[in-house]
Structure 1
Amino acid sequence: MEFELQWLLIGLPIAFALGWLGSRLDLRQVRREQRDAPKAYFKGLNLLLNEQQDKAIDAFIEAVQNDPDTTELHFALGNLFRRRGEFERAVRVHQHLLGRADLGETERDRAQYALAQDFMKAGLFDRAEEAYRALLGTPFDTEARLALLNLYERSRDWHAAAEVAAVLEHNGIGSFGQRMAHHWCELALEADARQNTEEADKALAHARKAAPQAPRPLLIAGQRLARQGQPAQALAIWNELRARDIPAFALIGEDYVNAARACGQTEAARQALQEAYARSPSLDLLRARAALDGHELSADPALLQHLEKKPTLGAAAAMLQRPLSQWDEPAAQAVRVAVGRAAQPLQRYRCAACGFEAQRHFWQCPGCLSWDSFPPERIEEL
């Protein structure tokens, strides 16, 4: 009995010591693993901040290999591949994440969004559309709809673009009325090209409803009426446009003149053009008024005053078309000012390495410090 008690007293401390030692060894191993993974991660982050993307990718790959279950490392690696233009590798990383059964719903949506961005950047628009549509109704719903809107506009799918924009506006994301008006205007132009007048009328009605103050629906509506042989109705529409947006009205100045001549309203049109020019002077309005009076813009007496107020190359070019017998010192001075003003941005030296521009020549670029990167010729001479 004394023998067993003796061994028991000796064995208990030994067992405790062995257990403690084993736990310490396991704890050291866990700590070592936890220390190694962040070390690789922070190494990659440091390289990324120093714009060493190749080495950063290698560090992140090492971190992912040490801990394949770390989703953040996968996202970082996929984003790096996308930034470098390695879209196929980015797609593989994000598809691998989506294929994991243990991925939570939030992380799955995030991976789906990253995958959609990969497809978009790679120019795979059909797959990008499918990936973005899979995000509708998720926390990434707004981002997906905005991306789909840009995608549909790029592919000229105006019906789909208008539908997405309407949903975004209904959800309170912002005001998309002007954008929807452009979508419906594009549809109206397409319908007119197919000679589908009824569909074009409906599209323009939708455009005006989406953005009642938008100038483009009025501009197109007037042009359609003029082509249909209704110049008086076209003038009425364009007068409404003139009251709202004179710069947009200036775009159809010549059409306005032709419609006024067709229906015998030249005097009213002249008054309208003069009032519009007084409120917002532009060369287009001046050219339309000259056409209404039956002479070229170069012969218009108001051209010199316009050139003095707005010394642009367009006005100077019109002035140069005048006969030499009509030139005087004020006209010459106005042209000199306009040409000199337009030439200033071109009379600079530009660094071939970074694009830095300066009025004088440098042997060493002040921007990127490169030597001999400034060609001795100015921009206009290159």
Structure 2
Amino acid sequence: MDFDLSWILLGLPLAFVLGWVASRLDLRQLRIENHQAPKAYFRGLNFLLNEQQDQAIDAFIEAVQSDPDTSELHFALGNLFRRRGEYERAVRVHEHLLSRGDLNLLDRQRAQHALALDYLKAGLIDRSEEALLKLEGTPFEAQARLALLANYERSRDWLRAAQIAQKLEHANQGSFQGRLAHYLCEQAAESLTAQEPEQANSLLQQALSTAPDAARPPIDLAQLLARQGQPEEAYLLLKRSLQSAPAATPLIAAPLTDYAIACGRAPEALTLLKTSYAHSPSLDVLDAIVLLEAGHGGPTPTARDWYVQHLEREPSLVAAAKWLAGEKLEHEQFHPQVQRALEQAIKPLMRYRCAACGFEAKQHFWQCPGCQAWDSYPARRIEEL
């Protein structure tokens, strides 16, 4: 069979023309896609920088539709949904990412972390816990553990919270001894509610050894000992805590005074508190000194003199109101009205304020009810801050 070379001569130009047309079509389509996707992306970025989140979301959705394989756009879109509180849409975006088979390992772990945050923000504690536990052994492990710790604290699951805190400490993520002591104290409080004082005592002793310099374990343990008819042991425990936790002296002063009076150690307690007050004046310590002076029957200074001395050291509306309560005014008939006005004025000054979020409360909290921070309440009243 003879081979006709004319077919080759005719076919080569035809193949060249077809190839050229196909390449032009591909390049044109590629230019259109590359032109549309970046344009929508940068438009969305511009809206985001101008805090126009609605327009940014629309632009990112357009970009994702133009290039559904772009994972970074999906992450940006999911984060925007979460910031706007549209948690269901954020979950759908991140679940879609996780369902993709072409996603690399790091992006898959990142999507898992983002999904856990979606559940956490939406208040779906069980789902967020399940999602966070899957991040063990990943680059997001530390962040996941901190989120789990917040979850367990919020649900008051102190045993699991302690386990996570220990893992974080072993991973050199900071010191969690103070928190571990708080968890033990919380468990002790639950034991007391359940009428299990021996278990509570054991937990508080463990808390004391876990964080020897913390203020809460000795205060809670002393209160338990006093309830069990051991005021002297309670007094000695708080006496030691004056040295180990001096910043908590204003919180210790009142119970220390009560236990000292109960076990006949008022003179010793008075000396201790006077020394503390001389070093660091405090309204609560001042009240304890006044109470011990009156109970001990000491000659001078009188209660009035103590408040005057405090006013000489620093201005205090609280001290002035307490001093005035025991004084006789020139127009005595107006004393009750004046005293009521002063007591009303000092109420806000007698509160405690969280140093983390500013939440104010009449009583001192070890964990802020507002921001859930531990040890964020100073031991001093607002007037003294």
User: What does residue 368 of structure 2 align with?
Assistant: none
Alignment of 1:126 with 2:119, yes or no, is no
Which structure carries more relative contact order (alpha carbon 8 Å, separation 6+)? 2
Aligned residues of 1:247 and 1:280 also touching (Cα < 8 A)? no
Shift of 1:56: 0.7
SS at match of 1:175: coil
Shift of 1:11: 4.2
Point out where structure 2 has 5 or more consecutive residues left out of the alignment.
Answer: 296-300, 332-341, 347-385
- The range that moved more, 90-99 or 203-212, is 203-212
- The range that moved more, 40-49 or 187-196, is 187-196
Shift of 1:55: 0.8
SS at match of 2:102: coil
1:313–1:128 Cα change, 3 Å: farther
Aligned residues of 2:242 and 2:252 also touching (Cα < 8 A)? no
| Matches of 1:22 and 1:36, distance apart in 2 | 21
| Matches of 1:221 and 1:8, distance apart in 2 | 101
User: What does residue 28 of structure 1 align with?
Assistant: 28
Q: Please give the TM-score of this superposition, normalised by the length of structure 1.
A: 0.80
SS at match of 1:57: helix
| Matches of 1:9 and 1:102, distance apart in 2 | 45
Aligned residues of 1:298 and 1:318 also touching (Cα < 8 A)? no
Q: 1:83-135 deviations in whole A, cap 9, x for unaligned? A: 11111111111112222233222212111111111111111222211211121
User: What does residue 65 of structure 2 align with?
Assistant: 65
Correspondence list, 1:220-259, <5 A: 220-259=220-259
Aligned residues of 2:293 and 2:303 also touching (Cα < 8 A)? no
User: What does residue 308 of structure 2 align with?
Assistant: 304
User: What does residue 366 of structure 1 align with?
Assistant: none
| Matches of 2:313 and 2:151, distance apart in 1 | 43
Shift of 1:30: 1.8
Q: How many residues align?
A: 330
- The range that moved more, 41-50 or 191-200, is 191-200
Shift of 1:7: 5.9
Shift of 1:14: 4.0
SS at match of 2:175: coil
Aligned residues of 1:222 and 1:233 also touching (Cα < 8 A)? yes
Shift of 1:33: 1.2
User: What does residue 324 of structure 1 align with?
Assistant: 328
User: What does residue 19 of structure 2 align with?
Assistant: 19
Aligned residues of 2:94 and 2:112 also touching (Cα < 8 A)? yes
| Matches of 1:37 and 1:259, distance apart in 2 | 74
User: What does residue 162 of structure 1 align with?
Assistant: 162
1:298–1:9 Cα change, 3 Å: farther
1:23–1:187 Cα change, 3 Å: same
User: What does residue 115 of structure 2 align with?
Assistant: 115
Aligned residues of 1:185 and 1:204 also touching (Cα < 8 A)? yes
| Matches of 2:143 and 2:302, distance apart in 1 | 52
SS at match of 1:281: coil
| Matches of 1:287 and 1:115, distance apart in 2 | 53
Letter in 1 for 2:313: K
- The range that moved more, 190-199 or 7-16, is 7-16
- The range that moved more, 125-134 or 164-173, is 125-134
SS at match of 1:183: helix
User: What does residue 360 of structure 2 align with?
Assistant: none
Aligned residues of 2:304 and 2:326 also touching (Cα < 8 A)? no
Shift of 1:244: 2.1
Shift of 1:75: 0.8
Aligned residues of 1:254 and 1:291 also touching (Cα < 8 A)? no
| Matches of 2:137 and 2:10, distance apart in 1 | 67
| Matches of 2:197 and 2:215, distance apart in 1 | 21
User: What does residue 314 of structure 1 align with?
Assistant: 318
1:323–1:171 Cα change, 3 Å: same
Shift of 1:16: 2.0
| Matches of 1:36 and 1:273, distance apart in 2 | 75
| Matches of 1:123 and 1:310, distance apart in 2 | 47
Letter in 1 for 2:210: A
Alignment of 1:176 with 2:180, yes or no, is no
Point out where structure 1 has 5 or more consecutive residues left out of the alignment.
Answer: 328-337, 343-382
Correspondence list, 1:1-382, <5 A: 5=5, 8-9=8-9, 11-294=11-294, 299-325=303-329
User: What does residue 298 of structure 2 align with?
Assistant: none
Q: 1:133-181 deviations in whole A, cap 9, x for unaligned? A: 1212222111100011111112221111111111100111111111111
Q: 1:272-302 deviations in whole A, cap 9, x for unaligned? A: 111111122101111011111227x994312
Shift of 1:318: 1.4
Shift of 1:326: 9.3
| Matches of 2:122 and 2:11, distance apart in 1 | 68
1:124–1:298 Cα change, 3 Å: farther
